Amino acid sequence: MKPLKYLGLLPLALISFPASAWDVSDLMKTLAANPGGKATFIEKRQLAVLDKPLVMTGDLVYAPPAYLEKRVLTPKPEILILDGDRLRYEAAGKKATININTQPELVGFIDSIRGTLTGNLRKLEDNYALTLNGAPKRWTLILLPNDQQIAKYVLKITISGHDDKVTTIEYLQADGDKSVMTIQPTH
Amino acid sequence: MMAKRLPVLIWLCAIALAVIAVIRANYVADMSAFLPANPTNNQSILIEQLTHGSLSRTILIGIEGAPSETLAKASKELSSAMQASQRFSMVQNGDPESTRKDQAFIFNNRYLLSPTTIEHFTEQGLHKAISDSIDLLGSPLGLMIKKIFPKDPTGEVLSIINNLGFTNQIENAHGVWVANNAQRALVLALTNATGTDTDQQEAAVHFIRAEFERIQKSIDANLTLKMTGSPVFSVNARETIHSQVLVFSTLGLTAISFLFLWVFRSFKTFALGALPILTGILCGITAVSLCFDTVHAITIGFGSTLIGEAVDYSIYYFAQAQKQNSEWKERFWPTIRLGTFTSIVGFLALLTTDFPGLAQLSVFTIAGLSAAVLVTRYVLPALHNPKLNDYTLKAIGKAVIRLLPALSKLRYLGYVFALLMIIPFLSGTVKWSNQVSDLSPVSKADKALDIELRSDLGAGGARHIIVMKATSEDAALEVSEQVASLIAPLQEQNLIAGFDAPSKLLPSLATQTLRKRAVPELPLLDKRLENAIKDLPVKRKTLEPFVTDSESIHDAPFINQESFSGTSLNEVIKSLLYRVGDKWVAIGIIKDTPETPVNPQSIKALLEQAPQLDAQYIDLLNESNQMYEQYVSGTLNSCLFGVVGIFIVLSAVRRSIPDAIRIMAPLVISSVVVAGILGLSGVNLTLLHAVGFLLIFAIGSNYALLVQNHQGEMDPITVASLIVACFATMFGFGVLAFTEVPVLKAIGQTVGPGALLSLFFALSMAANKPGIKLDPIR
């Protein structure tokens, strides 16, 4: 053993040290501890088939670990409730319940949200390559799908926030369409 | 000598002819034995559905026992083997490839199929439809409709899907339908063969089993196959009936054979004793095959029980004729002849029922018993030189006679018991079954599995239907359209869960023409579209594919039944729209869910608003239960007539009503006791129990007659012959109580104990009256 040989590794160790002070798993732990609650949102969707973005506003309710409700108030009332694997949809007096597992294109979206909100690192890493930028006070998590099935629909998901709060979710879809949701906690 | 051989010759010729008839007879094992021969209109619709409808051809398959990837692989292999076999008109397993054709068909014909085409192609209609679609783009549906938005901005595909009620989605994993958290892969298939062709359905079911075994070997030995549906059940039922009839008639025969050998101590006697029985069965089948087109398997099953009564004749003959033939002819033959005659009168009553199964039973029994008794009377004496070892017989006879005084006292206990048994009658514990399913040989576990698979596949049975008739296919579709629009408000008010009508899949020509005309030609369409999207966030250029597609409709052909070939919708439209005689029938199915149960009154009231339409609401379950009730009450009446007939014959022949009452009293008491015990043990009495009671009278009257006919002192040999005959009957019928075939079980559990009780009451009541009428019957 020649100790000298390992001296070259020292700078590497020094560089990686600060980064490991706060990483994805720390963020996940913080997020997992989020007790849930209510928020309002504004969502803007840019679709290739439309000239102007669609703008939707409404409320969000989150009760960990498996209940997420999105209540669109404008332009048309619509309720979406994700409870476990069931997705309930209500609009214009019509109700439908689907099991998300029957809709592979939805599973990708839903898992990205579910995984982030519940801080389920393993679930996120199953489907996405994760990159975390920033600091606990202002962070951005980038999800790039590595699952082919999801990649057919989603190019990139960018989630940003502070502490245990998610403030924006941005989807870039494979066909170029994009949606940005801005979330404002009500308490 | 010639005079003695003549009967044997005639008998041999008859046997030869009967064998030919039996070999050439056409045997069936389907449910038609229990379907009325002259159905009412509603019943014929029910029968059509039961025998030819898609229900009679649907097989539901679940594959379990392995991880979902393996299940998916097995599901795909099984489905493709089934598709390649030409035995199935449809095989679906949720493979996206197989639904692609359906989707393409709907998409390509969307303007002809959509109920909203007409309202969507005005200027306001376009505006409203497109703006609704834009709103939908923001919803979860948006992901799916985004791709087709430029071609279908008015959302016709969604209109069609809503209209057809295709909203229940079966879970999908690895490209196949699954349920139970992907622990079960699902396959749905329709056999080519209809419910009346059990042979071909059997071949289809066996094909699936064989293919599955192959897949098990090549993929995973832990895979298990769950299979239900009408074809599976009828194939299983036939196999059960075959094997059980074989097993239990062998058991019964073996027991009777041992009894015979023990009592008569001679193989020759044993062989001769079988002659009346075999002749009876052969002649029974022959008579049925001559009177009816087909012989029902269940008739043969019942035929083996005939052994129980026919064997009595041989026993009486061997036991009683052993001293001198002429004495038997004088003393016993008239009684036995009368006994047979009463049985025949009893069964004649069943001939009048409308149900082929019972009518065949009647013919079989009458012919079989007549043949058996004639062989006993004329053939056995010609063949047999009675030199019997009566050691066992005498021993039995003496033992029983010694017991008689005790038996005679015991009868009071019997009366008390019989009186007690009236309580279950009065309290309603003795129930007549009102469900056809009580006759069905399908096990409870299979029924439960069937319900489970059906709910997994969203393939509920069609119970509430509207039958619409017209003189042509297109006219039937027009009636279907008018009925659908009558029913539509009910669905809007959430009073029904949905209505499947053939016109929703295949609109009438008139409707297709109207829809085609509603789509304007180019300059006009362009103008309307431009105005419609003026204030909407969508460019005319984006919608170019829509304009092109809309214009192409003017060159496109109308759709008809043939347009569906290659899609899974083909089977749907075929099962909802078909020809019967010179009429076309359209079947509308009202969906029935626990949340929104169907209210027949509201449906009937709606249909009454349009008396000009030949449309009729039918509750198939109700109809089949009503049919069954009619069946039960018809059978009960026939059986009662039979019993009354026996009473009249006895009164007439004995020229004494009290005498007839004395003969029949033990039989009535036995029947009451048997019915009471069955009721108390929770058995719902079916019509086969009713037939069983008739048999108690038919067989028991022989005992009662022979007991009443004894002269002065009880003769040990006569008593012994009765005991042996009764035990033979017990063995022959009693074993059937242990089968899994409900119809045979019912007969077994009635006649087995009934025969024993009849003899007990007959003997004990007679023992009390030593000075009984002495003159022999003429």
The larger pLDDT score, comparing residue B401 to residue B507, is at: B507
Torsion of the alpha carbons at B283, B287, B289 and B291, rounded to the nearest 10: 180
Question: What pLDDT does B325 receive?
Answer: 64
* Mean pLDDT of the region B192-213: 91
Query: Which phi and psi angles does B528 have, rounded to 5°?
Result: -60, -40
Q: How far is A91 from chain B (nearest CA, A)?
A: 9
What's chain B's average pLDDT? 85
Whether residues A91 and B139 touch (CB distance < 8 A) is answered with yes
Examine the pLDDT at B338 and tell me if it is beyond 60.
yes
Q: Measure the CA–CA gap between B591 and B485, rounded to whole angstroms.
A: 16
- Residues on chain A touching B139 (C-beta within 8 angstroms): 78, 80, 89, 91
Distance from the Cα of residue B15 to its chain's centroid: 33
Look at B39-43, B128-132, B387-391, B413-417 and tell me which has the smallest mean pLDDT: B387-391
Beta strands in B162-285 (DSSP E): 172-173, 176-179, 184-191, 224-228
Burial of B283 (0-12, 13-18, 19+ CB in 10 A): buried
Whether residues B170 and A102 touch (CB distance < 8 A) is answered with yes
Whether residues B171 and A76 touch (CB distance < 8 A) is answered with no
Residue of A nearest to B130 (CA): A50
Q: Which of A49, A91, A105 sits opposite B538 (nearest CB)?
A: A49
Structure tokens belonging to residue B633: 């009450």
Helices (runs of H) and strands (runs of E) counted in chain A: 5, 11
Examine the pLDDT at B471 and tell me if it is beyond 90.
yes
Torsion of the alpha carbons at B330, B336, B338 and B342, rounded to the nearest 10: 180
Phi/psi-derived region of residue A173, left when phi > 0, alpha when psi is between -120 and 50, beta in every other case? beta
Q: Which of A41, A46, A50 to mutate to test the interface with B (most CBs of B within 10 A)?
A: A50
Whether residues B140 and A89 touch (CB distance < 8 A) is answered with yes
Tell whether B135 lies on the interface with A, counting CB pairs under 8 A: yes
Question: What pLDDT does B129 receive?
Answer: 92
The larger pLDDT score, comparing residue B248 to residue B117, is at: B117
Beta strands in B415-536 (DSSP E): 464-470, 499-500
* Mean pLDDT of the region A79-102: 77
Whether the Cβ atoms of residue B716 and residue B398 lie closer than 8 Å to each other: yes
Report which DSSP code applies to A183. E
Question: Which 3 state secondary structure label does DSSP give B223?
Answer: coil
pLDDT in tens, B524-573: 999 999 999 888 888 888 899 999 999 898 888 999 999 998 888 888 89
- Number of CB atoms found within 10 A of residue A7's CB: 9
pLDDT in tens, B57-115: 999 999 999 988 899 999 999 999 999 998 998 898 988 777 788 889 999 999 999 99
Tell whether A95 lies on the interface with B, counting CB pairs under 8 A: no
Whether residues A102 and B143 touch (CB distance < 8 A) is answered with no
Q: Measure the CA–CA gap between B676 and B119, rounded to whole angstroms.
A: 68
pLDDT in tens, B277-325: 889 989 999 999 999 888 887 787 776 666 667 888 888 888 777 666 6
Q: Which of B138, B150, B171 sits opposite A45 (nearest CB)?
A: B138
Tell whether A105 lies on the interface with B, counting CB pairs under 8 A: yes
Examine the pLDDT at B214 and tell me if it is beyond 90.
yes
Q: Measure the CA–CA gap between A159 and A116, rounded to whole angstroms.
A: 9
Question: What pLDDT does A21 receive?
Answer: 66
Burial of B271 (0-12, 13-18, 19+ CB in 10 A): exposed
How would DSSP label each residue in B684-747? PB-HHHHHHHHHHHHHHHHHHHHHHT--SSPPHHHHHHHHHHHHHHHHHHHGGGGSS-HHHHHH
Predicted structure pTM score? 0.75
* Mean pLDDT of the region B143-153: 86
- Residues on chain A touching B169 (C-beta within 8 angstroms): 98-99, 102
Whether the Cβ atoms of residue B248 and residue B300 lie closer than 8 Å to each other: no
Structure tokens belonging to residue B602: 């509201």
Q: Which of B132, B144, B169, B543 to mutate to test the interface with A (most CBs of A within 10 A)?
A: B169
Q: How far is A46 from chain B (nearest CA, A)?
A: 10
- Residues on chain B touching A106 (C-beta within 8 angstroms): 140, 143
Whether the Cβ atoms of residue B392 and residue B269 lie closer than 8 Å to each other: no
- Residue A157 pairs in a beta bridge with A143, A171
Whether the Cβ atoms of residue B348 and residue B642 lie closer than 8 Å to each other: yes
Most confident range, picked from B138-142, B193-197, B664-668 = B664-668
Residue of A nearest to B541 (CA): A49
Locus of tokens 């309720």: A79
Torsion of the alpha carbons at B299, B301, B307 and B309, rounded to the nearest 10: -50
Q: Measure the CA–CA gap between B330 and A89, rounded to whole angstroms.
A: 90
Q: Which of A44, A45, A47, A106 to mutate to test the interface with B (most CBs of B within 10 A)?
A: A47
